[in-house]
Amino acid sequence: MKLQKEQFDVWCDRLQLSAEARRYIMEIRSSDPSRVVGGGRRSVSGRFPSRKMQFTIQFESHKVELPLIYTLEHDSSVLEFYDQPPSIKLSYQSTDGRNQAHYYTPDFFVIRTDSAGWIECKPEEELHRLSEKNPNRYALGDDEKWHMLPGEHFATQFGLWFEVWSSAEINWNLQRNLEFLQDYYA
């Protein structure tokens, strides 16, 4: 269930968030999704009726984003999550050395009990392709996790995080069980 104003204020105080970060998160919490998602040639889009959020959450891919939604919906450390939050400005250097800057809409913004940030969902094979095309944007870190470096840079100015969630991280046994039990939870 969404945090009430007093609960949100206590959460912000506990995390010692700056006034700028609080305003930014409040804008995300009060905004409609910044765009309506649509399916592509290889993906199936849809809407998930979130009990946690008490409204529907859009997904653009039933093979990557929908499994993350099930995970967020049933993770007790996740307080709130929003699809298609307002765009953020990414700045980075292209492989030919030119400075790039553009607005980008991450897939989700997540508020956890101890932190908050953005999540971008990508198929593992696409991340490999993207990292070869522009390693200053996507990179596989020493921690064996994918990183979107300009997204992480943007998030740190607010004391928040930016994660890339790869299809390789999906626990398909858990996903099948969550889908199977969905009616029971309802």
In a domain, 169, yes or no: yes
Spatial distance between the Cα atoms of 25 and 174, rounded to a whole number of angstroms: 30
Place of tokens 């007093």: 6
Bridge partners (DSSP) listed for residue 63: none
Residue 186: inside a domain, yes or no?
A: no
Can you give the pLDDT at residue 39?
A: 63
Type and span of the H or E element at 12: helix 5-15
State how many domains the chain has. 1
Contact 138, 166 (CB under 8 A): no
For residue 138 the two structure tokens come to 């996507």
55 phi, psi to nearest 5 deg? -160, 170
pLDDT average, residue stretch 158-166: 97
CATH number at residue 52: 3.40.1350.10
Q: What share of the chain has pLDDT > 70, as a percent?
A: 92
Tell me: pLDDT of 181 over 70: no
Structural domain including 24 reads: 5-181
Q: Is the pLDDT of residue 42 over 90?
A: no
Residue 136 located in a structural domain: yes
Mean confidence (pLDDT) of the chain: 91
Q: What is the pLDDT of residues 9-34, one digit of tens each?
A: 999 999 999 999 999 999 999 999 99
Average pLDDT over residues 66-71: 94
